[in-house]
């Protein structure tokens, strides 16, 4: 008898726990570690300025965040995915397969990607995409022919660069930053050095050549960093010759340890990025599950607060931390107010 | 002949004497001395590393417990309050009020130095949030002068602690300008700046990356506490019941052997696996809330159970069979023998095992990563029950989070967090030692 009673009370308890679970009162966010600092700033300010509880923001990378976001509708799933790249078609269909159809895309601003090295290390002060491609691609052009990358020092292909061993710490594949790095630096270098043409004339189809352009050498001179920028910074600290890829905001917080290189002659600053002069920058996004608006309290208010002028505008705290504010912020604000989803009008 | 050569002293060997060591004894003694030396060396190495670790932790972490504050008298009128509450970024309006007030204070103190709004933001960080929180809780104080102690920004803090000097400042740093040094020096001379114990670090919650000075570990300590409560309440009874049954009642057959082997294996499973299990079972199947200490506690319970079962069984085994025999001999039932005699004697060992298991669980981050407890969670639960269900972080997760942020003050806080974690552990161990002393019985 007492065993039956015990089981019954245990079941009631777990049922009670389950009912509590349904009533989630705070916004749950996961995704890009690049967007995380901005999201945490907004989350703190949101908690201070509204009567809603402070949202919970998790990191883990754009892809991981979008994957969790796409797992379904319901309070056990996240409401917002942060991403340092636009959502892919593959992810949209994965979302749709789990019933997540109405997604609102919000662009919060731009982030610059900078190449920086140890402050006391060799003088890497000017790069072009071709330099990075020549240093890191598995196959490069030497004397008009496509060969396995023979370069071991930066000075091997550009006499203006220091004679130091090539070692680069680049973001790992789960980071949104990697995609920007590939498209705006490696692919650009691939085209500029003529390697892409050589691949196509060597019998590759255009698509294959584009893919081949994006690969990096695997002999240990290019190291993927799957953690965040702190890990890259630690690696740079330990290797005087190394070059690392950072977000602009992170670099600006660590100017006592890092020196930055110009890209194609343009110095990365919030001004040059906003003006579009600095070539390596990317938009930052977050994605809202429309089905959760009205279910999770404060979700829409949070999104509106995030892109409001005093927050995401040029004088707001996000810009102060290093976000390059979006000139088309007003449109984004309107879009959230209308709850306009991707590809739809409603 | 042979007998004689055996018994009589050999001419080549010296006469045996207890006071005189022969070569072989010397060799044996020497090897013993060497072994003792190795032992001392091993302990010495251990102590050296412990000392090095403690020095590193304390020197890097203790500054987190101290903080530079700027003491400023501030008055807010009812009209100003109503005005500010109408704005969208209310905290921004409070900041404006504060800047006006600070300027007049500085004038009154005779500090002749020009500064603008940005300079105040650079030096004092986010004052608006603190002011708003205060006035919303204490509306009666509107109109009366209040002396606020506001935390100085991270770089000011580091400047006053001596870890950030004028030479460290790079040109073009948007977060700190050379003239800010003059301003902070002037404020220090005017007696507005002082070093105080950083209570906010102990009681506060996590902050956004642009406000490192305000970050505190309090909420996550509470998160860890609630998790440990769940772990203790679930794993101790389940673990002890399982061990008693397996050790004292279960028949010895292949099935129980199989269970035993699997419990031992379970103890060696990497903790992240329990995190994946927790995500799949507790969150996605049972629909328990994400980031909740309850789920964290459940996951850690799974992780702690094998440790508790193994140590409990070992201490049950260590109780002499004569105790059981005597109890059974005077007519006690098997259950009476176990609960009245064997279990109390095994209690100290069970307690030690439990504390080791809990300590392990306390320091665990990996499984929490998957159930959403590693992230930005900046809030206190409002009631005791909410403590289990509301999102929260845990101390090691908070340390991990801070260590990954770019501002140097967060690194300092991460070290400070390690000190808090160690204190938490020491407290738990002390309680265990006291309880063990009380229960310990000899026979």
Angle, helices B218-244/B395-403, rounded to nearest 10 degrees: 130
Domain range enclosing B36 = 31-62
Dihedral in degrees, nearest 10, Cα atoms B360, B365, B366, B369: 150
Distance (Å) from the C-alpha of residue A207 to the closest C-alpha of chain B? 37
Instruction: Find which of B92, B116, B216, B289 to mutate to test the A interface (most A CBs within 10 Å of its CB).
Output: B289
Who among A28, A229, A254 is closest to B290 (CB)?
A: A28
Q: Report residue A20's pLDDT band, with 50, 70 and 90 as the boundaries.
A: very low
> Roughly how many angstroms between the first and final C-alpha of chain B, as a whole number?
57
Lowest mean pLDDT among A114-118, B33-37, B73-77: B73-77
B125 to chain A: closest CA residue: A317
Tell me if A47 and B379 make a contact (CB, 8 A cut-off).
Answer: yes
Q: Summarize pLDDT for B329-358 with one digit per residue, the tens.
A: 999 999 999 999 999 889 888 988 898 899
Which chain A residues have a beta carbon less than 8 Å from that of B205? 54
Q: Report residue B13's pLDDT band, with 50, 70 and 90 as the boundaries.
A: low
B375 to chain A: closest CA residue: A58
A130 and chain B in contact, CB less than 8 A: no
Q: Summarize pLDDT for A144-160 with one digit per residue, the tens.
A: 788 888 888 888 888 88
The answer to whether residues B38 and B113 belong to one domain is no
Query: What whole-number distance in Å separates Cα of residue A268 and Cα of residue B377?
Result: 32
Q: Report residue A7's pLDDT band, with 50, 70 and 90 as the boundaries.
A: low
Instruction: Find which of A36, A58, A82 to mutate to test the B interface (most B CBs within 10 Å of its CB).
Output: A58
pLDDT (mean) for B400-418: 84
Instruction: Find which of B126, B170, B208, B379 to mutate to test the A interface (most A CBs within 10 Å of its CB).
Output: B208
Which chain B residues have a beta carbon less than 8 Å from that of A56? 290-291, 372, 375-377, 391
Who among B169, B287, B290 is closest to A18 (CB)?
A: B287
Q: Summarize pLDDT for A72-121 with one digit per residue, the tens.
A: 888 878 899 999 888 989 999 999 999 888 899 999 988 888 899 888 88
Lowest mean pLDDT among B35-39, B41-45, B304-308: B304-308
The answer to whether residues B223 and B149 belong to one domain is no
pLDDT (mean) for A335-343: 85
In a domain, B239, yes or no: yes
- Percent residues over pLDDT 90 in chain A: 10
Tell me if A26 and B128 make a contact (CB, 8 A cut-off).
Answer: no
pTM: 0.75
Q: Summarize pLDDT for A268-279 with one digit per residue, the tens.
A: 888 888 777 888
Q: Summarize pLDDT for A205-250 with one digit per residue, the tens.
A: 888 888 888 888 888 888 888 777 888 888 888 888 889 988 887 8
Q: Report residue A1's pLDDT band, with 50, 70 and 90 as the boundaries.
A: very low
A49 and chain B in contact, CB less than 8 A: yes
The answer to whether residues B253 and B152 belong to one domain is no
In this predicted structure, the answer to whether residue B1 has a pLDDT above a threshold of 60 is no
Has domain A20-111+282-338 been given CATH number 3.40.50.300?
A: no
Secondary structure in 3-state letters for A119-185: CCCCCCCEECHHHHHHHHCCEEEECCEEEECCCCEHHHCCCCCCCCECCEEEECCCCHHHHHHHHHH
Do domains A20-111+282-338 and A112-281 share one topology? The answer is yes
The answer to whether residues B291 and B407 belong to one domain is yes
In this predicted structure, the answer to whether residue B4 has a pLDDT above a threshold of 80 is no
Instruction: Find which of A10, A11, A14, A21 to mutate to test the B interface (most B CBs within 10 Å of its CB).
Output: A21
Tell me if A255 and B88 make a contact (CB, 8 A cut-off).
Answer: no
Distance (Å) from the C-alpha of residue A86 to the closest C-alpha of chain B? 22
The answer to whether residues B186 and B81 belong to one domain is yes
Q: What are B272's strand-pairing partners?
A: none
Distance (Å) from the C-alpha of residue A34 to the closest C-alpha of chain B? 11
Report angle CA A210, A215, A216 to the nearest 5 degrees.
145
Angle, helices B408-439/B218-244, rounded to nearest 10 degrees: 40
Q: Report residue A346's pLDDT band, with 50, 70 and 90 as the boundaries.
A: very low
Given this model, what pLDDT does residue B12 score?
59
| Sheet strands side by side (includes B66-74) | B146-151, B66-74, B193-197
pLDDT (mean) for A306-335: 85
Instruction: Find which of A39, A49, A75, A308 to mutate to test the B interface (most B CBs within 10 Å of its CB).
Output: A49
In a domain, B326, yes or no: yes
Q: What are A140's strand-pairing partners?
A: A147
The answer to whether residues B155 and B253 belong to one domain is no
Given this model, what pLDDT does residue B140 score?
79
Tell me if B129 and A44 make a contact (CB, 8 A cut-off).
Answer: yes
Checking ipTM against 0.90, whether it exceeds it is no
In this predicted structure, the answer to whether residue B322 has a pLDDT above a threshold of 90 is yes
The answer to whether residues B301 and B178 belong to one domain is no
In this predicted structure, the answer to whether residue B15 has a pLDDT above a threshold of 70 is no
In a domain, B203, yes or no: no
How confident is the prediction for chain A on average, in pLDDT?
Answer: 83
The answer to whether residues B422 and B399 belong to one domain is yes
Tell me if B175 and A18 make a contact (CB, 8 A cut-off).
Answer: no
Tell me if A255 and B172 make a contact (CB, 8 A cut-off).
Answer: yes
The answer to whether residues B57 and B69 belong to one domain is no
Size of interface A-B (CB pairs under 8 A): 140
The answer to whether residues B284 and B421 belong to one domain is yes
The answer to whether residues B147 and B248 belong to one domain is no
Which chain B residues have a beta carbon less than 8 Å from that of A229? 406
Tally of domains in chain B: 3
Report angle CA A71, A76, A78 to the nearest 5 degrees.
60
pLDDT (mean) for B43-47: 97
Lowest mean pLDDT among A50-64, B38-52, B120-134, B352-366: B120-134
Lowest mean pLDDT among A3-7, A220-224, B371-375: A3-7
Distance (Å) from the C-alpha of residue B230 to the closest C-alpha of chain A? 14
Which chain A residues have a beta carbon less than 8 Å from that of B129? 44-45, 48
In a domain, B3, yes or no: no
Where exactly are the structural domains of chain A?
20-111+282-338, 112-281
Given this model, what pLDDT does residue A39 score?
92
In this predicted structure, the answer to whether residue A266 has a pLDDT above a threshold of 90 is no
Has domain A112-281 been given CATH number 3.40.190.10?
A: yes
A324 and chain B in contact, CB less than 8 A: no
Given this model, what pLDDT does residue B171 score?
55
B28 burial type by CB count under 10 A (0-12 exposed, 13-18 middle, 19+ buried): exposed
Q: Report residue A174's pLDDT band, with 50, 70 and 90 as the boundaries.
A: confident
The answer to whether residues B294 and B183 belong to one domain is no
pLDDT (mean) for B38-64: 93
Given this model, what pLDDT does residue B229 score?
92
pLDDT (mean) for A274-292: 87
In a domain, B210, yes or no: no
- Percent residues over pLDDT 70 in chain B: 91
In a domain, B205, yes or no: no
In this predicted structure, the answer to whether residue B381 has a pLDDT above a threshold of 90 is no
In a domain, B224, yes or no: yes
In a domain, B26, yes or no: no
- What region, left, alpha or beta, does residue A335 occupy, with left being phi > 0 and alpha being psi -120 to 50 degrees? alpha
pLDDT (mean) for A315-331: 82
Q: Which residues contact B133 (CB under 8 A, 6 or more apart)?
A: A48
């Amino acid at each position: 008898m007492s065993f039956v009673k015990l089981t019954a009370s245990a079941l009631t308890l777990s049922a009670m726990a389950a009912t509590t679970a349904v009533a989630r009162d705070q916004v749950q966010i996961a995704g890009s570690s690049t967007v995380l600092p901005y999201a945490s700033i907004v989350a703190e300010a949101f908690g201070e300025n509204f009567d809603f509880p402070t949202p919970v923001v998790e990191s883990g990378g754009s892809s991981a965040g979008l994957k969790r976001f796409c797992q379904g509708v319901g309070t056990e799933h996240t409401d917002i995915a942060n991403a340092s790249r636009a959502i892919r078609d593959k992810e949209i269909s994965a979302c749709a397969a789990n019933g997540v159809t109405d997604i609102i895309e919000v662009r919060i601003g731009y982030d610059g990607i900078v190449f920086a090295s140890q402050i006391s290390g060799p003088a890497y002060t000017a790069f072009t995409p071709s330099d990075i491609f020549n240093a890191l691609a598995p196959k490069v052009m030497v004397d008009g022919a496509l060969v396995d990358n023979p370069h071991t020092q930066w000075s091997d292909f550009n006499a203006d660069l220091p004679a130091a061993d090539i070692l680069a710490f680049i973001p790992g594949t789960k980071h949104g930053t990697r995609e920007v790095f590939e498209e705006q630096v490696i692919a650009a270098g691939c085209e500029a050095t003529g390697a892409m043409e050589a691949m196509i004339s060597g019998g590759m189809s255009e698509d294959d050549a584009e893919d081949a352009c994006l690969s990096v050498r695997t002999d240990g001179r290019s190291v993927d960093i799957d953690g965040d920028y702190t890990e890259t910074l630690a690696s740079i600290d330990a290797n005087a010759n190394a070059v690392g890829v950072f977000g602009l905001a992170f670099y600006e917080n660590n100017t006592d340890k890092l020196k930055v290189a110009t890209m194609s002659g343009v110095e990365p600053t919030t001004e040059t990025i906003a003006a579009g002069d600095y070539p390596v920058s990317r938009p930052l996004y977050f994605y809202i599950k429309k089905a959760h608006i009205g279910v999770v309290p404060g979700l829409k208010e949070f999104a509106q607060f995030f892109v409001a002028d005093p927050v995401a505008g040029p004088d707001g705290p996000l810009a102060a931390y290093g976000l390059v504010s979006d000139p088309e912020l007003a449109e984004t604000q309107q879009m959230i107010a209308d709850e306009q989803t991707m590809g739809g009008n409603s | 002949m042979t007998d004689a050569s055996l018994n009589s002293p050999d001419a080549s060997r010296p006469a045996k004497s207890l006071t005189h060591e022969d070569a072989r004894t010397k060799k044996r003694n020497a090897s013993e001395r060497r072994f003792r030396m190795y032992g001392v060396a091993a302990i010495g190495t251990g102590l050296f590393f412990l000392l090095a670790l403690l020095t590193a932790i304390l020197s890097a972490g203790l500054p987190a417990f101290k903080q530079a504050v700027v003491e400023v008298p501030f008055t807010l009128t009812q009209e100003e309050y109503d005005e500010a509450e109408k704005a969208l970024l209310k905290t921004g309006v409070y900041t404006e009020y504060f800047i006006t007030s600070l300027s007049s204070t500085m004038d009154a103190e005779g500090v002749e130095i020009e500064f603008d709004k940005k300079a105040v933001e650079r030096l004092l960080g986010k004052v608006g949030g603190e002011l708003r929180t205060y006035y919303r809780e204490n509306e009666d104080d509107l109109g009366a002068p209040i002396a606020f102690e506001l935390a100085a920004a991270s770089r000011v803090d580091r400047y006053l602690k001596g870890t950030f000097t004028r030479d460290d400042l790079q040109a073009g740093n948007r977060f700190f300008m050379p003239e800010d040094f003059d301003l902070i020096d002037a404020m220090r001379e005017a007696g507005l700046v002082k070093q105080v114990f950083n209570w906010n670090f102990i009681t506060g919650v996590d902050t956004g990356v642009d406000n490192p000075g305000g970050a505190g570990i309090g909420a996550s300590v509470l998160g860890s506490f609630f998790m440990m409560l769940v772990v203790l309440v679930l794993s101790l009874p389940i673990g002890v019941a399982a061990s008693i049954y397996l050790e004292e009642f279960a028949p010895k057959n292949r099935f129980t052997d199989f269970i035993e082997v699997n419990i031992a294996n379970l103890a060696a499973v990497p903790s992240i696996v329990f995190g994946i299990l927790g995500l799949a079972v507790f969150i996605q199947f049972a629909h328990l809330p994400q980031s909740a200490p309850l789920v964290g506690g459940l996951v850690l319970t799974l992780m702690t159970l094998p440790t508790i079962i193994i140590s409990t069984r070992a201490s049950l085994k260590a109780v002499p069979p004569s105790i059981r025999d005597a109890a059974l001999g005077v007519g006690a039932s098997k259950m009476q023998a176990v609960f009245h005699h064997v279990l109390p004697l095994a209690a100290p060992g069970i307690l030690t095992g439990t504390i080791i298991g809990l300590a392990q669980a306390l320091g665990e981050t990996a499984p929490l990563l998957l159930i959403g407890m590693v992230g930005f969670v900046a809030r206190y639960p409002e009631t005791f029950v909410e403590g289990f269900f509301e999102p929260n972080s845990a101390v090691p997760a908070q340390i991990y989070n801070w260590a990954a942020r770019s501002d140097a003050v967060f690194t300092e806080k991460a070290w400070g967090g390690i000190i808090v974690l160690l204190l938490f552990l020491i407290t738990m161990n002390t309680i265990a030692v006291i309880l063990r002393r009380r229960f310990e019985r000899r026979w």
